[in-house]
Amino acid sequence: MSAGGTPEPFASAGNGRAHHRAAFGVMIAFFAIGPLVLYPVFLMKVMCFALFACAFNLLLGYGGLVSFGHAMFLGTAGYVCAHAAKVWGWNPEFAILVGTASSALLGVGTGLIAIRRQGIYFAMITLALAQMMFFLYLQVPFTGGEDGIQAVPRGKLFGVIDLNAPWAMYSLVFAIFMGGFFVIYRAVHSPFGQVLKAIRENEARALSLGYDVNRYKLIAFVLSATLSGLAGATKDLVFELASLTDVRWEMSGEVVLMVLLGGLGTIFGPVAGALVILAVENYLAKLGSWVTVAQGAIFVLCVLTFRRGIVGELARLLKKPL
């Protein structure tokens, strides 16, 4: 993704705050009114995965770093959060925090190793490291192996608000999603985000201009890992379950697919991608392995004919960055 890469599918995210505000409005309205029409648990799942996909997009769409192992951050935070809530009996806010922190820590460790190579090697390294974590979680006792950690208590937020009430859990997920989304939005539109995009477009040039390229990459990687962890911890409280599914390579592939379908390097693309992919999976769930086939087919079609993604195409039609 360094020198010589084609920036064509990356819709530029320059000015155009008015359109961002309008799109923000649509998104907030969708998730606020949504539970009246759609199944709330499905929407909570969408928000968790949307945050996961946005965090991933920060790295791929803006940093040009292809991680194929992001499931390890989703899963690690989930396991730690579930363990803290169930075994240590911590309040949900602390359980989520400690889960997120553990993913951040893992992000520092794996990031330091992975950023030593670029491009395709980066993808293979992150995939291999994630597979290592998968085998680790399969063996260590605290994860419960194939069974996972079941019946994780949602608990009382701040010791007061009982999260077993559907509206309370929904509001918490909504707040976390919006918070994470805002952090990413700010990061992308900050000087840090500009440098990150410069590295994506031409790493050698960014280096020659005096930017500590590796430090920027590491910060982006850790930020992405942390927010993925936040999504994973929250998701496990919603489903009251932490399982191996979240650390498998299929999960890493799924988040790539969400971002690709929604639109690489667009602000709102990952949210749209997560919504569509989860809806398709929900619809095809009864058909077993056809879900995998459908995912593969979407991958192939996106790469061959639809590289801008849903929001990227929309942005092109409207001639505004979204």
Which residues form the interface with other proteins (CB under 8 A)? 1, 5-6, 8, 66, 113-114, 116-117, 119-121, 123-125, 127-129, 131-132, 135-136, 139, 249, 253, 256, 260, 288-293, 295-300, 302-304, 307
Strand ranges for 138-263 from DSSP E: 156-157, 161-162
Using the minimum distance from each CB to other proteins, give the nearer residue, 234 or 252: 252
* Of residues 55 and 129, the one with the C-beta less far from other proteins: 129
CB of 64 to other proteins, least distance (A): 8
Residues paired with residue 242 on neighbouring β-strands, in sequence order = 149
d(C-alpha 262, C-alpha 321), whole Å? 14
Q: Which is nearer to other proteins, 40 or 119 (CB)?
A: 119
Question: Minimum distance between the CB of residue 80 and other proteins, rounded to whole angstroms?
Answer: 19
DSSP 96-122: HHHHHHHHHHHHHHHHHHHTTS-HHHH
* Least CB distance to other proteins at residue 58 (A): 16
| DSSP 8-state code for residue 321 | -
Shortest distance, CB of residue 4 to other proteins, whole angstroms? Answer: 9
Q: Which is nearer to other proteins, 150 or 292 (CB)?
A: 292
Buried-exposed string 96-126: b where 16+ CB fall within 10 A, e elsewhere: bbbbbbbbbbbbeebbeebbeebeeebbebb
In terms of CB distance, is 203 or 236 closer to other proteins? 203
CB 246 within 8 A of CB 78: yes
C-alpha span between 265 and 260 (Å, rounded): 9
Cβ at position 133, least distance to other proteins in Å: 9
